[in-house]
Amino acid sequence: MWFEGISGQVGLGRSAAGVNATEGLDERLHSAEREAGSHERDMSSFERERIDLEHRVSRMEAELESLRKRRLEVYARWWNARDDRDRARHVCRRLRKKIDKARKRGGEG
């Protein structure tokens, strides 16, 4: 484990070796605290970035939903225009046939 390196140095006496070991532990403690602080700053930075990205994703999802609705509305208008065009073409064909019949009966053709 990451903490196994310090387990052998716990419980030192007051001898000169103990003082040197204590100084070594102090140095390691300060180093570990600096490292923890560095990671804490990184975590804060990552959290700010995550929050920013979450807001951006929310805005983009809302925009996407709006665009999907708009796409459906435009398609519905296109479909209605196509139906109106087809109806108008059908009326044109019927009127042409009537005109052609009338011309044939009237001798205009």
pLDDT tens digits for 39-66?
A: 999 999 999 999 999 999 999 999 999 9
Whether the per-residue pLDDT at 9 is higher than 60: the answer is no
Name the pTM for this structure: 0.56
52 in Cβ contact with 30 (< 8 Å) = no
Whether the per-residue pLDDT at 103 is higher than 90: the answer is yes
What pLDDT does 20 receive? 83
CA 69 to CA 55: how far, in whole Å?
21
Cβ neighbours of residue 22 closer than 8 Å, sequence gap 6 or more: 12
Note the Cα 91 to chain centre separation in Å: 50
| Mean pLDDT (the chain, rounded) | 89
**Confidence band of 19 (pLDDT split at 50, 70, 90):** confident
What pLDDT does 64 receive? 98
